[in-house]
Amino acid sequence: MRIAVVGSGYVGLVAGACLAEIGHDVILVDNNQAKYLALVSGECPIHEQYLPDLLDKHRGRRLIFSNKLAQAAAACDAVIIAVGTPPASHGEADLSYVESVAREIASSIDRYKVVIGKSTVPVYTSDWVRRVLLLNGVREDLVDVVSNPEFLREGTAVTDFLYPDRIVIGANTPRACSVLEEIYRPLVDGSYYEREDRFRFPLSEFRLAKLITTTAKSAELIKYASNAFLAMKISFINAVATICDFVGADIDEVREGIGSDERIGYKFLNPGIGYGGSCFPKDLSAYHAVARECGYDFRLLEEVVEINNQQRERFLRKVQKALWTLNGKRLGVLGLSFKGGTDDVRESPAVTIIASLVQKGATVCVYDPAAASRGREVLSSDRIRYAKSIYEAAEGADALLILTDWDEFRHADYSLVRDLLKYPIIIDGRNLLSPEKMRALSIMYFSMGRPDVRPLHMADPTASRTEVSQEPIYGTYQPAMEPESDDSALVE
C-alpha cells in the first residue's frame, strides 16, 4: 500500500520506517525544511534504538521523504497524521496542526482514501477532521477518517511497533477498517515474522498482536485512558514509597508483594523521581480537559499529577538530608533525559532537579549517554558542566546523584566511582543500584522508599530522637561534612 505519513517526530518517523519495513511504500512528509533536509541527507534526528538501521535499510527505496504535503497525499491510498498536539493554555491539546494538515490534503482526495489519526487527540477529533475535509470540498464517499492510536515508548519504539501487544483500529465504516487491516496484516497474520530479512526482536518469544476494532471515539479514548492509567500506577507506587520512607519499610519488598498479584503486575510499579516525557504530562492534562468539557471533574488525574510533582521535591529533600546544605557543593549527576534509552529531555524530572540544585547554589557536573546536547538547550548556567563519562561526573564531587535509568549507570564500576568522589555518597532517584552492593562498597546510599545505607556512626541527624538516640550525634561526621561557608548554615 502507498502511505503518506505526515510529521517526522518520534511517532511519524518510527511509524514511517516501520511501515516501510513491513512492506509498504511510504512517503514521510515534513514541512520543517531543516528536518526534511536532515532526513534526506541520511541523518536520524532522534536517538532511538534500531531506527538508524531501519532508515538506512529503506531510505530511497520503500521510504522517501518529501516537503510537499498535497503532492504526497495525492500519490497515496492512506494518509497518516502524526503531527504534534502540544498543550494549549488550559491543558487541552492544541489541534491546529492536525486541522491544517486536513485542510491541506483536501484538494488531493480525488479517489477513495483513508485519513488516519495517530497523534494523541481528544474524542471527536476524527469527526472534526472529517468535517474539515468535507468543508474543503472532499466528496463524502471518497474519505473515511480513522483513529489508530500509537503506544510506542521512546527508546523501544521500533520493537514496540514491529512486535506490538495490540493494534487498535477505530473506524466507523467497514471499508476503512479493511484498509487498516490490510496495512497491519503482516503483523497480525504473522507473515512479517516469517521473512528472512525481518528485523529481529531481541527476545525469542512473542505473541502475535491482538487486533482491536472499535469506533473512532473509543479508540481516541483508549489512548488517553492507557496513558493516564500508567501514570496513575507510577504515582501510586511513588506514594507507597513515600510511606515506606516514613515507616522504614522497603519498597522493593512491598512492590514484590503487590506486583505478584497477577491482577496488578510489576510493570510500571518502579518508584523514582516521577514520570516525564512528551506524553504522560501532556496527555494527562489533555484528558483532564476532555473530562472537564464533558462536565466531569476527573479529580483522580489531578492527584496523579500532584504526586508526580511532589516526587521531585521529595528527592531534593533527600539530597539535603544527605548533604545538609547545598550552597557551594559540587554534585556529580547521572542523567538528563526523562528516562533511559532516549535523548529526549522534554518534561524531564532530571532537568527540573538540576535547575533547582543550581538555584540552591550547587555546581553540577552532569553526564548523560545521549541527551547532553538537548540538555544544553534547556539548561544553561556557568554552574553546569557536561561530562563525557560517569567517572568524570563523579570526580571530586561531594556526592553523586542518579536521575535517569540508563543501563550504563546500573553497570558502572562503583568502587572506582567511590574512589573518585570526594565523599562516598550516592543519592539514587531511580533505585537503580543495590543497597547491599553499596553497603559492601562502604558507600552511603540513599534511594526512594528503601532504608538508607550508612555506617552506624553516621545516623541521620534529622531522624526522630528515639531513632538516633543509640547513635553518636551528627558532629562525629565532621571530617566529611564540615560546612564550607557561613551561608551553609542556612538550611531551608
- Nearest distance in Å: CB 434, ligand UDX: 18
Number of neighbouring beta carbons within 10 Å of residue 248: 11
Number of neighbouring beta carbons within 10 Å of residue 246: 8
Touching ligand UDX, residues 188-227 (CB under 6 A) = 227
Rounded CA separation 82/224 (Å): 16
Q: Of the two residues 152 and 322, which places its CB atom closer to ligand UDX in the complex? A: 152
Q: Which of 230, 364, 425, 438 binds ligand UDX (CB under 6 A)?
A: 230
Amino acid at 359: Q
Q: Of the two residues 92 and 150, which places its CB atom closer to ligand UDX in the complex? A: 150
Of 18, 76, 279, 365, which one is the catalytic site residue? 279
* 244 has catalytic annotation: no
Cell reading at 350 = 532530571
- Nearest distance in Å: CB 268, ligand UDX: 4
Judge contact between 56 and 46, C-beta under 8 A.
no
Please report the DSSP string for 243-309 in residue order.
Answer: HHHHHT--HHHHHHHHHTSTTT-STT---SS---SSSHHHHHHHHHHHHHHHT---HHHHHHHHHHH
Cell reading at 308 = 508526580
Q: Of the two residues 186 and 341, which places its CB atom closer to ligand UDX in the complex? A: 341
Q: Which of 338, 367, 423, 446 binds ligand UDX (CB under 6 A)?
A: 338
- Nearest distance in Å: CB 152, ligand UDX: 5
Q: Is 335 in the site for ligand UDX (CB under 6 A)?
A: no
Rounded CA separation 83/424 (Å): 47
Instruction: Name the H helices within 75-173.
Output: 96-106, 125-135, 157-162
Q: DSSP assignment, residue 31?
A: -
Q: Which of 21, 30, 48, 150 binds ligand UDX (CB under 6 A)?
A: 150
Touching ligand UDX, residues 260-289 (CB under 6 A) = 268-270, 272, 275-277, 279-280
Q: Which of 21, 92, 144, 154 binds ligand UDX (CB under 6 A)?
A: 154
In the block, cell 516537503 appears at 67
Q: Is 153 in the site for ligand UDX (CB under 6 A)?
A: yes
Judge contact between 17 and 5, C-beta under 8 A.
no
The size of the interface with ligand UDX (CB under 6 A), counted in residues, is 19
Touching ligand UDX, residues 97-126 (CB under 6 A) = none
Q: Of the two residues 266 and 296, which places its CB atom closer to ligand UDX in the complex? A: 266
Q: Of the two residues 403 and 459, which places its CB atom closer to ligand UDX in the complex? A: 403
Cell reading at 171 = 473506524
Rounded CA separation 221/123 (Å): 6
For the annotated catalytic residues, the residue numbers are 279
Residues binding ligand UDX (CB under 6 A): 150-154, 227, 230, 234, 268-270, 272, 275-277, 279-280, 338-339
